[in-house]
């Protein structure tokens, strides 16, 4: 097996053998088959919104500090983490289409970043959904070599 990603060895049992439930086999196989296509379509559809977000985000960056230094820093960190997550998601696509481990690793890092962003923004629902998706990623990890 290739070198494990950061925290992969520590987190794996909690999202696989010790997980509250296992996704059904046919669901996991369908996910592995269709997720690259869904990711690509969502990335293409989100591109105009992402460009607008980046343009308006940079415009509103100085204004975000009016709410206080904490608000401004939170906004800035949120923007940076979003861009990094987007880049990781795009980098994952070739590996996901070819079922290579590199695609899984990029998706894993993007999802870890999503969990972190949800926690930092105090989004309980976002954190739960990100953890659920992370559990699904760990349960399909064996499909990527």
For 57-80, write each residue's pLDDT tens digit.
Answer: 777 777 777 777 777 787 778 778
Give the pLDDT confidence score for residue 83 in this predicted structure. Answer: 82
Rg over alpha carbons for the chain, rounded to the nearest Å, is 17
For 6-51, write each residue's pLDDT tens digit.
Answer: 999 999 999 999 999 999 999 999 999 999 999 999 888 877 877 7
- How far apart (Å, rounded) are the C-alpha atoms in residues 65 and 59? 12
Q: What pTM value is reported for the model? A: 0.87
Q: Where are the alpha helices (DSSP H) in the chain?
A: 8-15, 25-64, 69-97, 101-120, 124-139
Whether the Cβ atoms of residue 101 and residue 140 lie closer than 8 Å to each other: no
DSSP annotation of 141 reads G
Tokens of 124: 């309980």
| Alpha carbon 98 to chain centroid, angstroms | 19
Burial (Cβ within 10 Å: 0-12, 13-18, ≥19) of residue 82: middle
């Amino acid at each position: 097996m290739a070198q494990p990603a950061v925290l992969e060895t520590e987190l794996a049992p909690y999202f696989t053998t010790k997980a509250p439930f296992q996704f059904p086999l046919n669901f996991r196989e369908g996910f592995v088959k269709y997720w690259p296509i869904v990711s690509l379509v969502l990335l293409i559809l989100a591109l105009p919104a992402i460009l607008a977000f980046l343009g308006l985000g940079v415009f509103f960056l100085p204004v975000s500090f009016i709410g206080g230094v904490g608000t401004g820093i939170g906004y800035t960190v949120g923007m940076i983490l979003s861009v990094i997550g987007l880049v990781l998601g795009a980098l994952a696509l070739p590996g996901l289409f070819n079922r290579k481990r590199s695609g899984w690793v990029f998706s894993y890092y993007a999802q870890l970043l999503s969990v972190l962003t949800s926690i930092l923004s105090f989004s309980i629902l976002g954190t739960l959904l990100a953890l659920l998706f992370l559990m699904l990623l760990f349960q399909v990890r064996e499909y990527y070599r």
